[in-house]
Amino acid sequence: MTVRRSLIAASLRRLLRRAVLPGLGLAGLLGAGPAFGQADSLRGPGQRLARYAQRTPTEKLFLHLDRPCYASGETLWFKIYAVEGTGHRPLPASQVAYVEVLDGAQQPVLQAAIALRHATGHGSLVLPAALASGRYTVRAYTSWMRNFDPGLYFQTSIAVVNTNAPAGAPPARPAPAYDPQFFPEGGYLVRGLSSRVGFKITDGTGRGVAAEGTVLDAAGAVVAHFQTRQFGLGSFAFTPVRAGAAYTAVVTANGQAFTCPLPPVREQGYVLRLEEAGPAQLRVVVQASGAALATDTLFLLGHTGQQIGVAAGARLRDGQASFVVNKQRLADGISHFTLFDGHQQPVCERLYFRPPATQLPLTARADQPQYGPRQKVTLQLAAGAPGAPLPASLSVAVYQLDSLAATGGPDVASYLWLTADLRGPVEHPDYYLAASPEAAAAADDLMLTQGWSRFRWPAVLAGRPDSLAYLPELHGQLVRGRVVSRATGAPAVGVTAYLSAPSRRIQLYNSISKAGGSVQFEVGDLYGTQQLVAQPDGRRDSLYQVEIFSPFARQYAAPRPGAPGLREGLAPALLRRHVQAGVQRQFYQGPPVAYRAPRTDSLAFYGKPDEHYRLDDYTRFKVLEEVMREYVPGVLVRIRKDGFHFLVMNDDARGVLEDPLVLLDGLPIFDTNRIMAFDPLKIKQLDVVTKRYILGPQVFNGIVSYATYKGDLAGFPLAAYALLQEYEGLQGQREFYAPRYETPQQRQSRLPDFRNLLYWNPEIRAGAGPAPTFYTSDQVGSYRVVVQGVAANGLAGSTSFTFEVKPAL
């Protein structure tokens, strides 16, 4: 296992090396370069962070959904972008992504495994017609991402409306429930040291609200004032004068006043303050008191996505130390500043956001500002500046704009640069990417209140990452499970386990159980719902059994506040959706939902056999022993005390190989007596491999492989120790279908067309191929065109515009 993990880590590093900027190299990505010359004492935490980053490279996923609101029974279409975690270049490492729709109780409603090719993938999920109205969460992750906090998975919220269920009267609105939170800069309030305190005021749905308030001491005296700036966020200066004193915030929001305690005040410790020191510099000021003064040397480590940009030391003078940081040393995005004491222990942390200097320039327009029903629309798309196009992968959605879909989904740039590295949802993340003093101040408030680290410092300083139970799926799906005792359920180590998916495509996988009984099988491209059979070697390990785990994660991020219910003013939009959905179901279904698996190599895992027999070419016997003796000279049948045995004639060695691997539709049969009792009329063909064959950690004395007509075992009974389990493989491909009105007869058809999603295309290459075209439906109104994409150099961007569909004259 150690060797395998080392090989996989090396593969990831090679992929990352190709993903970073040319000339930067892996050392530049991980920041393990000249920063350490600034402070020799930082070699400990700095180098350990660099090593940790090498062992745990980060990847991010972004999903572009076709629209933000759906009716039950509709199809949710999506495209997946996979990028490396710092510069956001496409990262073709993981070959599988897992997409789920979760309900309000964080229970999966729909799940799919999606193949990734060249760092992108796409798929669809059909929402059940009985799905209740409400807010649902769409999340996506890879196997490698499962090693880390589930809050790092891609997550976004969608609205689903069940138009067949009566909406009923609007529920009575309860009094707003506000959630005030206060966060001292650096982490702590310390007696006598001035601090900046960030705060966040949200309502019961998690949305920020405008508020103001005061801070009172134990005697009721006002010691500070505060007021929100944007999205319920703000900050204020505060100097506590007593340790352990109860400071209380009195908050007023929407005319309602309420109180809450501030974080406790420490007697001694450190306080960190980050401030602008000019257009190109930041200043980090540290104050200390009490026992913290005993350590006169402090160290500051700054990194962006685990790429180190700052490593410096400073001495405390009169209880204060200062660091000046060159902004150019920091990469775009969220930087973490961690303060270490003289014992190299982290004592304070602060986040800083530097908006990306450049986003992917996207231009999109339609050939006309407005259209009539069933009229052709041609889109003009381009990526890059005029005259300097950039190769980019794009996705395009065109949907009807109504009050249900008024708020669009997340955009790729703000998600990758901001939301993906913060805990919980971020309101209007695109606002923080603007180059304005107001946006910078709001971003600083956000960093104070919604900070988060992708790792734990104890794991970094210990010189080893936390448990990495999930390997990256570099070559397709990994099926995981464990071997346990059939009698006690205790995990078993060193037991060989076999996995097969009986079909016409003969495939077999094996694995030897490791610590905890864990086994994993690299199955590659396994498409659709499969019936897997997992078993140990029945000849010597029949006292064990193999369990297969679900490929989907069972860890969830902290639940988000409940979203508001449907407003009474949405009745017209709901009625319109109801009519649209009903008409589409009744008159226009389109082609049936069908996921087609891509073409795969039908050759068996052992390649071309040395001998091949089609049994229908011979006189059919009713006993398999007669078939083998009469028609298969390459396999000798012997009868001993325990029953039948096969011997394979090995021409190369001029001898025989005893007890070869026996298969039926890819299923290992360890007892030759059982296959000899099988009805030969159900067998279509037989392959024989007359040489020793190596499969994973095992060597077999040749192979005798039977295949039934349908590849379904034809009723062959499984052994008692074999597990038969349904398993969700990769989702096949399904094309988005929409009618085309190219002829007068098509345009004059009386079949109604009430589509609200006019177009979805997840595979557009900027500057390549013909311009995208589609046709409007019979629904008049405004339509939004959303284009998102990631360029090969890591630039991400999105754009949108609207056009009108007017009634026909």
Res 234: pLDDT:
96
**For the residues 509-533, what does the mean pLDDT come to?**
93
Res 25: pLDDT:
34
Per residue in 475-487, pLDDT (tens digit) is 999 999 999 999 9
Banded model confidence at residue 563, pLDDT cuts 50, 70, 90: low
CA of 361: how far to CAs of 63, 81, 91, 395, 522, in Å? 19, 17, 21, 14, 40
Answer yes or no: is pLDDT of 570 > 70: no
Res 586: pLDDT:
63
Res 3: pLDDT:
44
> CA-CA distance, 786 to 802, in Å (whole number)?
9
> CA-CA distance, 769 to 748, in Å (whole number)?
30
Res 325: pLDDT:
94
**For the residues 146-170, what does the mean pLDDT come to?**
81
Res 251: pLDDT:
96
Per residue in 302-327, pLDDT (tens digit) is 999 888 889 999 999 999 999 999 99
Res 568: pLDDT:
53
State percent of the chain over pLDDT 90: 67
Q: Which of 8-22, 167-181, 272-286, 718-732 bottoms out in mean pLDDT, i.e. has the lowest?
A: 8-22
**For the residues 63-67, what does the mean pLDDT come to?**
96
**Cβ pair 383, 392 in contact under 8 A:** yes
Banded model confidence at residue 378, pLDDT cuts 50, 70, 90: very high
Res 406: pLDDT:
66
Res 242: pLDDT:
84
Banded model confidence at residue 32, pLDDT cuts 50, 70, 90: very low
State percent of the chain over pLDDT 70: 89
Q: Is the dihedral of CA 362, 368, 374, 380 positive or negative?
A: negative
Q: How many CA atoms lie within 13 A of 147 on its CB side?
A: 18
Banded model confidence at residue 14, pLDDT cuts 50, 70, 90: low
Sheet containing 248-253: which strands, arranged edge to edge?
222-227, 211-216, 248-253, 256-261
Answer yes or no: is pLDDT of 33 > 70: no
Q: Residue 57 is which amino acid?
A: P
**Cβ pair 153, 138 in contact under 8 A:** no
Answer yes or no: is pLDDT of 407 > 90: no
Res 42: pLDDT:
55
**For the residues 8-24, what does the mean pLDDT come to?**
48
Number of other CB atoms surrounding residue 735 within 10 Å: 10
Per residue in 75-126, pLDDT (tens digit) is 999 999 999 988 899 999 999 999 999 998 999 999 999 999 999 999 999 9
Mean pLDDT computed over every residue of the chain: 87
> CA-CA distance, 504 to 501, in Å (whole number)?
10
Q: Which of 65-69, 578-582, 785-789 bottoms out in mean pLDDT, i.e. has the lowest?
A: 578-582
Q: Which residues contact 412 (CB under 8 A, 6 or more apart)?
A: 62, 64, 81, 788, 789, 790, 796, 797, 798
Per residue in 426-448, pLDDT (tens digit) is 999 999 999 899 999 999 999 99
Per residue in 456-477, pLDDT (tens digit) is 888 888 877 767 889 999 999 9
Answer yes or no: is pLDDT of 245 > 70: yes
Answer yes or no: is pLDDT of 572 > 80: no
CA of 689: how far to CAs of 151, 498, 635, in Å? 50, 19, 10
Residue 703 phi/psi, 5-degree rounding, is: -140, 135
Residue 337 phi/psi, 5-degree rounding, is: -105, 120
> CA-CA distance, 237 to 603, in Å (whole number)?
71
Res 30: pLDDT:
30
> CA-CA distance, 525 to 79, in Å (whole number)?
19
Q: Which residues contact 699 (CB under 8 A, 6 or more apart)?
A: 692, 693
Strand ranges in 513-601 using DSSP code E only, listed in sequence order: 518-524, 529-536, 544-548
The dotted CATH code for 178-354 is 2.60.40.1930
**For the residues 321-350, what does the mean pLDDT come to?**
92
> CA-CA distance, 31 to 12, in Å (whole number)?
17
Res 275: pLDDT:
93
Answer yes or no: is pLDDT of 567 > 70: no
Helix/strand/coil percent split, the chain, to 5: 20, 40, 40
